[in-house]
Chain A
């Protein structure tokens, strides 16, 4: 019987030593566990942020219109309770509504905790990337897309058509979040596409926009928009029925949740992004234009995935190349999907007579080749330009 006891005491000794070792590393273990928990929370929160918050606060927390930016050190240093309460209960008299389920919102304690962690710890430019890694692709955010053809139709409607079309764009970028894409209003804002509103005179409307409506979420836009822009929005609002009759309408953007494990879904995303981002220069379906013909055996057999990825991230490396760097506009998930799409073309890619684009020194008239740094906005269709000036980068992702 004594050997049981002997073995037992040996086991006890081993356990005590193991406990000592474990105990001495406990602080380190807890620190690591906290760090990974925080990373997880920030990643989860980024997906929530892209879905619910980015429409007003911007994809990188930069703030849109009158919505305050979140990427400030002041906010980072704010205490937990204040941040939690602001998100949970909203702020009276502003567009910030209560997001907690108790306040009629759609987030629970846990998710709001995660958002607070994100506001305090996240590296803001990373938010889109983190959300994309969870499968939430903010391909189109905030503002509904406005097409050049739509603007042309509006401009042709009357002598003041150009003012209406400018107002149409400004409205799309700033007002649709609350007032809706078709002007039906929402829980946040009143309907604007009504005969009653059109009956009001321009001065009243302009004053309402400039000064806001105290006690509601209508903010004073005079701080953000110029008087000209406000006047154009008023002109647009007063003629919305005519514009609608001409068949011009805005389509609400939605963040897309895709299953990153589904190869077909990734391929579709890549095709969509390629069409909206790349075809302006590389031609329909990659048939070539200013940039080289992507959809050609010459291109696809010469470039491996790593090279294509690198070019998308950092831009063209030839001197004078018109290829911009997309690294800070697209997430790695989006870039990967574009590369996947491009690679999928290889099976059917034709041999192209002139695979090099006009900016590559291969074709086109000499005066085109001589242009060292061509103005992309001039050379390309502005409808599908990739954020060259004008709207913030998040608004240019997709059409």
Chain B
């Protein structure tokens, strides 16, 4: 195979023999994009299972979204009279318009998944402590940014799906105490989803958010490098360092090409959905939010909106203060901290898979707290009580893992994190597939 290698080298470099490591490193240092990488990387950090390529795939999707988004802007018109016909035109008379829209749509949805997985990976390998804690918070901010991107983009086609998902979504905002109404009014530019809402969402989606994304992403990359790169477990022997070219760059290019090809082919096979023109007089039944909010919407079925939002907010807050909550850097880079941590994670996941559907069923079919505790205000019986019960349950899981497994603090946190994430996935799945007309539980198969 050496002749093949020689041929590829011949293609890549104008002259043989291939350049020395020193000049390869200089190429990285002197290149604007490649400069985000260090010139050399520790060999263990190059293993695919250290990152699963999730950060890189998310970055690629962001670039792809900007490129396709700019192209879509040439034919889109953010007016409620013309937005929908413009999207129809993309689907019918603009060559490759349907494909472009499909790539943009699916890349946006895939990005939502990859950034969450990226966060899970960083949590699992303990990459949020010590020097990296600032970048963890920046990354969390980027996750919220991606969520906002998806939310604002969802309205733009101005079809029934868009209109009602945003109506439901912004309806939730009103329950945020003190500022909820003001934020909703600011976003919508009025009391309901109408022309000014479309214009605002478009401005956010194509102007403000991309700027934040580009600066945020650059800062995130830069911090990754400055904070010491990908976390690796403590090594017993001296770590060999390999040059970025070709070792890191070829892997990145390969993963990028595979992702790109997969996404484009998927978009060819499954075009982006487009329902009937938005009609404020005919709500679909059930009216659901976008899929990534269905976990929260499912919580709303079981408790007062204020309680559901508090729960979501405390989850986000918990993630944000995680670097302060867990400062034990001794097991840095070891997936799930240790064998005990791995077991705690598995127990947390198993509990979530069993308990969440069970609680959904019990609350839906049998337990009716507001009626049971009739004299008490529903704010307490349906709000405070379920909230405290849930938080108490989470504390119970933590305490149980500490006691029964003799888990250390950071290991028990793995169990808690895994419970919360799996419960969120289960709730989202219930919201997507098991809620039928009037949001009643249905069996979809």
Residues on A lying within 8 angstroms of B by beta carbon are: 1-9, 11-12, 14-15, 18-19, 22-23, 26-27, 29-30, 33-34, 37, 108-110, 113
Contacts and interface: CB of A to CB of B under 8 A. Distances in A.
B96 A1 contact: no
A323 B429 CA distance: 57
A331 to B, nearest CB: 22
Nearest to B81: A109
A1 B261 contact: no
Contact of A22 (B250, B268, B277): B268
Contacts of A30: 92-93, 95
B99 interface: yes
Contacts, number: 78
B264 A18 contact: yes
Interface stretch (B83-91, B133-141, B206-214): B83-91
B265 interface: yes
B265 A37 contact: no
B257 interface: yes
B84 A110 contact: yes
A11 B255 CA distance: 10
Contacts of A29: 98
Interface string B93-127: 10110110000000000000000000000000000
Interface string B239-272: 0000000111011011111101110110010000
Contact of A1 (B81, B88, B247): B247
Given A18-B268, A33-B98, A12 B261 contact: yes
16 contacts: A1-B246, A1-B247, A2-B5, A4-B251, A7-B254, A7-B258, A8-B257, A11-B258, A12-B257, A14-B261, A15-B264, A22-B268, A34-B92, A108-B81, A109-B81, A110-B84
Contact of B254 (A6, A18, A110): A6
A113 B85 contact: yes
Contacts of B85: 110, 113
A15 B260 contact: yes
A11 B260 contact: yes
A109 to B, nearest CB: 5
Pairs A-B, 7 closest by C-beta atoms: A4-B254, A8-B257, A8-B254, A11-B261, A15-B261, A5-B250, A33-B92
A19 B264 contact: yes
Q: Which of A8, A30, A109 has most B Cβ within 10 Å?
A: A8
B264 A110 contact: no
Nearest to A18: B265
Contact of A4 (B5, B8, B96, B250): B250
Contacts of B257: 7-9, 11-12, 15
Interface of B: 5, 8, 46, 81-82, 84-85, 88, 91-93, 95-96, 98-99, 246-248, 250-251, 253-258, 260-262, 264-265, 268, 277
Given A7-B258, A30-B93, 14 more contacts: A1-B247, A1-B251, A2-B250, A4-B250, A4-B253, A8-B255, A11-B257, A14-B265, A18-B261, A27-B95, A33-B98, A37-B92, A108-B81, A110-B277
A26 B254 contact: no
Contacts of A12: 257, 260-261
A23 B98 contact: no
Given A22-B268, A30-B92, A110-B81, A5 B260 contact: no
A16 B5 CA distance: 24
Nearest to A108: B81
A33 B246 CA distance: 46
Nearest to B267: A22
A358 to B, nearest CB: 50
A302 to B, nearest CB: 40
A14 B264 CA distance: 10
B265 A15 contact: yes
A6 B81 CA distance: 49
A52 to B, nearest CB: 16
Contacts of B268: 18, 22
A12 B260 CA distance: 8
Q: Which of B246, B255, B257, B260 has most A Cβ within 10 Å?
A: B257
Nearest to A111: B277
A113 B84 CA distance: 12
B230 to A, nearest CB: 15
Contacts of A108: 81
B385 to A, nearest CB: 40
Contacts of A15: 257, 260-261, 264-265
